[in-house]
Amino acid sequence: MVNRTDSNIFYFYRFICSAFYLLPVLFLSGCFGVIQKSDLIYTGGVAVESFSSNAMFSYASSDRSFSGRGILLFRKPDQIRAVILSPFGSVLQEVYIRGEQITIIDPANGKAFSGNYMELPEKGNLSGWRYIHWLLDIDTPDSLRGSEIIDRTNKFGDNEKAVFENGLLMSKKSPVGGHVSYGMYSTVQKTVFPLEITYETVKDEKFIIQLEDLEINLTLAENSFTPDLVKLRVYPLSSLK
């Protein structure tokens, strides 16, 4: 996405792919070749350095729920962009993350909120972005690894319990009780990757990201991860509380 014209083409393509808004399960099962783990071939699987995908974002708690389609971009080590759309294709929200810095854009109201992601609310549909780096830290598949449960220190310096099945990372649990599970592993460009990521908190909140039309190891332009704050009023992230 080098210029606005390219960006419009990119979004048009993504919006067309999102036309199956009311058929997420059928769309996933029919278009992405999700197959049984026993049929996957992933010895020496390719490491995922970046990806671009249509996505369904869902949040549920005891008193509210939210879901929306959009796109998700990721590039190692720590760059993320999410665009969440309304059922009619307009942009409800954009999220840009680079390291510990996060910017959330509310285009309808001409506002942006920026700051350290740990300033996000500890509960609610925005709180899941506090853990997105951990959620997307997915081990490269290795069918020679077998099945095991291990306690380890992750790359963020935190302890976690990781569960592997036939060399695939199935779940992780943090010492504070957060639990992420990975499902719907599918063959994607000579590797395998989970198309569903589910995060559950100790506060009985559930966040689900379902990926569709996933493409990995793309060359993503730097400005794909740079928010355009022109004409927006920018507020501290802490003001979202």
**Tokens at residue 2, please?**
């080098």
pLDDT of residue 191: 85
Is residue 193 within 8 A of residue 138, CB to CB? The reply is: yes
What is the DSSP pairing of strand 111-116 with strand 148-153? unpaired
pLDDT of residue 24: 38
pLDDT of residue 26: 35
Largest CA distance in the chain: 53
pTM, 2 dp: 0.82
CA 54 to chain centre: 10
Nearest to 105 by CA among 118, 97, 116, 95: 95
**Tokens at residue 37, please?**
């783990």
pLDDT of residue 2: 38
pLDDT per residue as tens, the chain (241 positions): 434 434 443 444 444 444 433 333 333 333 344 445 555 656 566 889 999 999 999 999 988 898 999 999 999 999 999 999 988 889 999 999 999 999 999 999 999 999 998 999 888 889 899 999 999 999 988 877 889 999 999 999 999 999 999 889 999 998 788 999 999 999 888 789 999 999 999 888 999 999 999 999 999 999 999 999 999 999 999 998 6
Please tell me what DSSP assigns to residue 217.
S
- Sequential DSSP letters for 52-72: EEEEEEEEE-SS-EEEEEEEE
E strand or H helix that includes residue 6: helix 4-17
Tokens 């409800």 sit on residue: 92
CB under 8 Å to 171, separation ≥6 — which residues? Answer: 162, 163, 179, 180, 181, 182
* CA–CA distance, 211 with 28 (Å, rounded to integer): 8
- Is domain 4-240 given the CATH code 2.50.20.10 in the classification? yes
pLDDT of residue 190: 79
Is residue 187 within 8 A of residue 41, CB to CB? The reply is: yes
Nearest to 44 by CA among 170, 147, 137, 144: 144
CA 209 to chain centre: 6
